[in-house]
Amino acid sequence: MFVSNESLPPGSANWVKYCKKLEKSLVLRTKQLTRANQELAERIAVSEAVCMENQRLEEALLQAQEKYRSIFENAVEGIFQTTPEGCYLSANPTLARIYGYESPKALLEKLTDIECQLYVEPERRQQFIEQLRSQDSVSEFESQVYRQDGSIIWISESARAVRDSLGNLLYYEGFVTDVTKRKQSEASLRKSQMQFKKQAEELQLALQKLQQTQSQLLQTEKMSSLGQLVAGIAHEINNPVNFMCGNLLHARQYAEDLLELFQLYAKHYPQPVPEIQAAAEAIDLDFIIKDFPQTLSSMQIGADRVHQIVQSLRNFSRIDEAQTKPVDIHQGIDSTLLILHNRLKARGTYPTIAVLKEYGDLPLVECYASLLNQVFMNLLSNAIDALEQEIEKEDKGAENSSQLSSLSQIPNSQGPIPTIRIRTDTIRNDWVVISIIDNGPGMSDEVVRKIFEPFFTTKPIGKGTGLGLSISHQIIVEKHGGTLRCISAPQQGTKFVIEIPLRASATKSGVSWG
Ligand SMILES: Nc1ncnc2c1ncn2[C@@H]1O[C@H](COP(=O)(O)OP(=O)(O)O)[C@@H](O)[C@H]1O
Ligand SMILES: [Mg+2]
């Protein structure tokens, strides 16, 4: 409202002034109001924009929730949220399906104690929790769990611990995959791998066994050929020797008769004609008369010895005996010793090897005689080898010490007499025990453990085949149902102990011994 001077009564100058002032303040106020109005309009616009933004955000939130729900509902993995105490907070349909429940709701209702109801080994749950506690997450944690119907499946879990802003544990959440098929294929793969490995090992063993058998057969074949040769020679010599022995008796008788007759001639014709006298002197008749019976005697001794050797050779080879027979064990040992006689007597730098026989009172033993003789041969040859080795070592030592002694006057040392002791006895009434003991260098534990392995030898190439003891072991254990043991220590000599039943009872029939 405007106030003009014309409308005011005279003398009211103050009034006019007042009115002008009022007008001025009115204009100011109007301006203020207009500005406030503008501001209000601006604010309304802003709040409308905020409102729209909120609406947009709400829609986006809804969309996101929808998206995540869809993922949760349709995921191929089982998804869960659980309390640290072992209850489900949520589970998706896949988890329900994996665990065999009709719906997540059913799972949540029925599966209320995860540790006891779910895990086949409840301690797996504790380990799972322990890992989550210490590392806040686990990945591909595999366990066996029960489905609702009681069947067992393998699952793999990956999970994390969810905490509030203060770090307090709220719950666990994660994924579950059914890995039963993979586990099954892994198990069957492992099984077939094991089977393959086992088969490969069996094949390897079979191959080894085959190689051993082949070599042992070869060795046995050799021994058998040798046996046949020995038996053949023994047989061939036997006839002429018997023939000689038999005829030597007659020859001796004839010689005695002839000498008696000659003495009768001498008695009745003390003075023979000069021609006879000359001839008697030429042949040294007196010496002949004295020496002839002695010559015949030593021929008899020689022939008897050949006869004895032939008997021993036949005895040793016994190739005609494929079956067990009652045998005099001592005779077998003696025949073997006789064949080894040359190695036992002193020769060159080797002294005589003493053989001490401590034979017990043995009955006849039913066994494979030629095979058993092979064992005696192997054990006695080994003992002789060992003693010779010791002698060679001592000789070397003596050489060194004699060189030394010539320098420093140290006397030579003399070792004990190389000796092989053979003991026989019966035990438990129906077993025989034969021990072959030498005072040679003995063996270390490591060597003792290997001696019965085929091809194990400590002897130089050409001297040892490493088959003697493995064949002997087979002969004693498999052919006779007995045992062959070795007791030995370095510098303590060696003892081999054979134990066989009086009646052979072969347990296995590994190698055919022909
Ligand atoms: N009486 C023994 N004294 C010391 N070592 C022995 C004796 N008998 C056997 N051995 C050891 O056992 C090994 C295996 O013997 P063996 O199977 O007969 O094979 P080889 O005599 O061909 O070496 C020998 O090389 C030797 O090391
Ligand atoms: Mg040997």
Q: Is the CB of 456 under 6 A from ligand 1?
A: yes
d(CA 506, CA 483): 11
User: Considering the chain, what is the average pLDDT of its residues?
Assistant: 87
Exposure string over 477-501, b if 16+ CB within 10 A, otherwise e: bbbbbbebebebeeeebbbbebbbb
- Residue 319 — pLDDT band, cuts 50, 70, 90? low
Displacement of CA 229 from its chain's centroid (Å): 42
d(CA 94, CA 82): 16
Strand order in the sheet with 354-358: 354-358, 419-427, 431-438, 494-501, 483-488
Q: Which residues surround ligand 2, an ion (CB under 5 A)?
A: 382, 468
Top mutation candidate among 457, 465, 476, 484 for ligand 1, by most atoms within 8 Å of CB: 457
If one compares 3 and 379, the residue with the highest pLDDT of the two is: 379
d(CA 411, CA 408): 9
Distances (CA, A) of 97 to 128, 254, 282, 425, 460: 22, 119, 130, 79, 74
Q: Given the structure tokens 């003995």, which residue do they identify?
A: 442
Residue 415 and residue 421 in contact, taking contact as beta carbons nearer than 8 Å: no
User: Token digits for 191?
Assistant: 């099984």
Range 470-477 average pLDDT: 90
Q: Is the CB of 486 under 6 A from ligand 1?
A: no
The pTM of the full predicted model, rounded to 2 decimals, is 0.55
* CA-derived radius of gyration, the chain: 57
- C-alpha 308 – ligand 1 centre gap (Å): 30
Q: Given the structure tokens 């405007």, which residue do they identify?
A: 2
- Kindly compute the dihedral angle of the four CA atoms of residues 253, 256, 257, 261, in this order, to the nearest 10 degrees: 170
Range 302-311 average pLDDT: 82
Residue 489 and residue 506 in contact, taking contact as beta carbons nearer than 8 Å: no
**Mind listing the pLDDT tens digit for each residue in 406-461?**
333 333 446 689 999 999 999 988 899 999 999 999 999 999 999 998 889 999 88
285-317 and 180-268 helices, crossing angle to 10°: 160
